[in-house]
Homo-oligomer: A and B are copies of this chain.
Amino acid sequence: MLKDVPSFDKLVHELGKLPGIGHKTAQRLAYYVLRSPSEYSSELSEALHSVKASVKECPTCFSYTENEDQCKLCASDSRDDSVLCVVEEPADISRIESSGAFNGRYHVLHGALSPLDGITPSDIRIQPLMDKIQKGINSQGPVIEEVILALDADLEGDTTVLYLAKILSEKGIKSSRIAHGVPIGGDIDYIDNRTLERALENRVQL
C-alpha cells in the first residue's frame, strides 16, 4: 500500500471492481503496473478501449463478434439450420465448439431466469428465440426441429430449462437438455450428492 499517492489508490479501486480481485490483489496488480514500462499500461488501456469499441453482438445469435454483420458461425453455410443450441453466455459457444460435438446453430440468452434476482423472461433473449423458432434461422432454410438447452446446472439454469421446455412443447418443438452426471475421468468418491443423484436418475440403458 502506498500512502499519499491518490492516482495509485484510484487504480487499486478500479482494479478491485474486477470479479475475484480483492483489495490486496488489486494493490499487487497496481504495483506491477507502476513498475512496468509505460508501454504496458498503454497497451492494456488501448486493449480495454478497443474491446468496447469493436466488439458487438451478432444480430442473429447474440454472441459477440467484430464482424460488420453476422458472426462467423451464423454466416457459415455448413451448419445445420434445423438444430438450435441455447446457451447462457457467448463464452459457452466456444466451449461447445471446441468439443466438436455440435454442428447446428446457436442462440445466446445473455443470462438465465432468476426470480430471486428479478430476472424475468423479458430481461434475457427469450423473445428473439421465439421469433427464430417461428421463422427458422433464415427465411429460405428449414424450420428448427430440435432445441438443445445447454444451460448451467444451477438453480437459474434449471428454472430457465423448465420455462423454455414448457413453451417449446406447447409449440410442438422437440427440446432436450445436455446431460449432467459424473465427468469423464471423475472419481465417484469425489462427486457431490446432487451430481450423483442426477447421474443415477439419467442412467443410460446398455
Q: Interface on A for B, CB 8 Å cutoff?
A: 1-8, 10-11, 13-15, 17-21, 25, 27-34, 38, 40-45, 47-55, 63-67, 71-73, 89-91, 93-95, 97-98
Contacts and interface: CB of A to CB of B under 8 A. Distances in A.
Given A29-B18, A33-B52, A51-B11, A64 B5 contact: yes
Nearest to A72: B4
Contacts of A15: 44, 47
B55 A7 contact: yes
Judged by DSSP, the binding face of A is helix
A34 B48 contact: no
The number of times this chain is found in the oligomer is 2
Contacts of A4: 65-67, 71-72
A6 B54 CA distance: 9
A48 B52 contact: no
A90 B35 CA distance: 11
Contact of A47 (B11, B47, B49, B98): B11
Nearest to A31: B91
Given A28-B19, A29-B19, A2 B90 contact: yes
A6 B51 CA distance: 9
Given A18-B29, A20-B28, A91-B27, A5 B65 contact: yes
A14 B43 CA distance: 7
A122 B93 CA distance: 53
A144 B50 CA distance: 52
